[in-house]
């Protein structure tokens, strides 16, 4: 009997790639998504890759009654992977209440439904934003939370605290928070990938949209940071590598291999890459020269961060396999595919 995994936000960027990896590992996937920032057609891509069509339930997890009803009818769920959230750092600064209500209400509704219906395991989509600008690099899971630089980052901090307190109060719920660094790239098939609505908030879709002519030029925010080339440094990892870590985390919980009721793991490559280095990698693999303009620093951006992923390497048996060039090549193939461009 296949174990049923609920993937909230499963038609989104990371959720869809994780759904693929779960199906390929033999799990039965049910997606919950309100399609606020994604398209139902993503399920077609998942089916083309895996040969299996995951079931899609379209509703908003902020609707507590609807959430309760779903889990009342699906008490056989082995684990929930919770991606569903608003995620644009810049937008969260201008719409803080929308971010707090959406990201925290949905999480609390899920946890209540888990308690009510006897569902034990949750993997939470967290972020390296919880660390702010760490005093020491690479950053380990023991690094203290810094004051969040955006409401989005704060929802991840508060979300982790809510889950930690819930697992502390009841032995019945076990959880793992995965703190992502910067996921990029697309599935090697080019059948699913990152598809932001409107102007991209993240670097790589902005790069690929500029390269294909959708954007006039790329903006680089700040070249006067305390880094080797003056641009911000991040830890970029391939989305399929990231997705595999979720499968490992789910398996750890289901197999009761977790050491504590609540665990956290950093997911990154352990290497810092500057914005300008990322641009040059893309130019190399695509053969396209990018037009970019230097702008002032952007509110909410930290200077540099990269992971110490050794805990996840050791405990989850997980590590990244894709290089930066691989990531950029797959992102470019995806961009060309969705624009039907050769």
Please, which residues bridge with residue 28 across strands? Answer: 4
Distance between CA atoms of 26 and 7, rounded to whole angstroms?
15
| Residue 236 near residue 278 (C-beta atoms within 8 A) | yes
* CA 301 – CA 333 distance, rounded (Å): 28
Q: How many CA atoms, within 13 angstroms, populate the side-chain half-sphere of residue 233?
A: 19
Give the confidence band of 341 by pLDDT, cuts at 50, 70, 90.
low
pLDDT digits (tens, 9 = 90+) for 168-192: 999 899 999 999 999 999 999 999 9
Whether the CB-CB separation of 159 and 104 falls below 8 Å is answered with: yes
Query: Are 94 and 63 members of one domain?
Result: yes
The yes-or-no answer on residue 152 being catalytic is: yes
Q: Which listed residue (152, 206, 225, 262) is catalytic? A: 152
Are residues 176 and 27 part of one domain? yes
Choose among 234, 231, 214: nearest CA to 222: 231
Instruction: Indicate whether 125 belongs to any domain.
Output: yes
pLDDT of residue 301: 81
Residue 252 lies in a domain: yes
What mean pLDDT do residues 108-124 have? Answer: 98
pLDDT digits (tens, 9 = 90+) for 232-241: 999 999 999 9
Residue 196: per-residue pLDDT = 87
Q: If phi over 0 gives left and psi between -120 and 50 gives alpha, with beta otherwise, what is residue 132? A: left
Residues 149 and 260 in one domain: yes
Give residue 31's Cα distance to chain centre. Answer: 15
Q: Answer yes or no: do 11 and 151 share one domain.
A: yes
Q: What span, in angstroms and rounded, lies between the C-alpha atoms of 322 and 318?
A: 13
CATH code, 217 = 3.90.25.10
Both 148 and 73 in a single domain? yes
- Please count the structural domains in the chain: 2
Do residues 131 and 211 both lie within one domain?
A: no
Residue 182 and residue 320 in contact, taking contact as beta carbons nearer than 8 Å: no
| pLDDT bracket for residue 331 (50, 70, 90) | very high
pTM of the full structure: 0.97
How far is it, in rounded angstroms, from Cα 137 to Cα 304?
9
Looking at the structure, tell me whether residues 208 and 150 fall in a common domain. no
> What is the mean pLDDT of the segment spanning 126-154?
94
Contact 113, 168 (CB under 8 A): no
Task: Give tens-digit pLDDT for 261-317.
Answer: 999 999 999 999 999 999 999 999 999 999 999 999 987 788 999 999 999 999 999
* CATH number reported for the structural domain that contains residue 65 in this entry: 3.40.50.720
Domain of residue 210 covers 203-234+270-309+316-338
Same domain, 143 and 287: no
């Amino acid at each position: 009997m296949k174990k049923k995994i609920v993937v909230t936000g499963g038609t989104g960027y990371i959720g869809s790639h994780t759904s693929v990896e779960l199906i390929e590992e033999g799990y039965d996937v049910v997606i919950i998504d309100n399609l606020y920032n994604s398209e139902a057609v993503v399920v077609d891509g998942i089916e083309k890759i895996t040969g299996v069509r995951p079931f899609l339930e379209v509703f908003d997890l902020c609707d507590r009654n609807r959430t309760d009803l779903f889990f009342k009818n699906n008490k056989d769920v082995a684990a929930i992977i919770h991606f569903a959230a608003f995620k644009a750092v810049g937008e969260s600064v201008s719409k803080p209440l929308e971010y707090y209500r959406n990201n925290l209400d949905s999480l609390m509704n899920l946890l209540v439904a888990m308690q009510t219906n006897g569902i034990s395991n949750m993997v939470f989509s967290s972020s390296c934003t919880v660390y702010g600008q760490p005093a020491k690099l690479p950053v380990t899971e023991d690094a203290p939370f810094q004051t969040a630089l955006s409401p989005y980052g704060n929802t991840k901090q508060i979300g982790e605290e809510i889950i930690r307190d819930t697992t502390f109060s009841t032995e019945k719920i076990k959880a793992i928070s995965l703190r992502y660094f910067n996921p990029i790239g697309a599935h090697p098939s080019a059948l699913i990938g990152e598809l932001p609505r409107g102007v991209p908030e993240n670097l790589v879709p902005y790069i690929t949209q500029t390269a294909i002519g959708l954007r006039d030029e790329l903006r680089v925010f700040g070249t006067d940071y305390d880094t080797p080339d003056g641009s911000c440094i991040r830890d970029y990892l391939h989305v399929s590598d990231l997705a595999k870590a979720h499968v490992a985390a789910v398996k750890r919980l289901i197999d009761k291999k977790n050491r504590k009721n609540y665990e956290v793991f950093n997911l990154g490559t352990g290497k810092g890459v500057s914005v300008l280095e990322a641009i040059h990698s893309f130019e190399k693999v695509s053969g396209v020269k990018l037009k970019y303009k230097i702008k002032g620093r952007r509110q909410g951006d930290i200077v540099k961060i990269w992971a110490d992923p050794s805990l996840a390497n050791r405990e989850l048996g997980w590590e990244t396999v894709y290089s930066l060039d691989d990531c950029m090549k797959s992102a470019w193939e995806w961009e060309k595919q969705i624009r039907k461009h050769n």
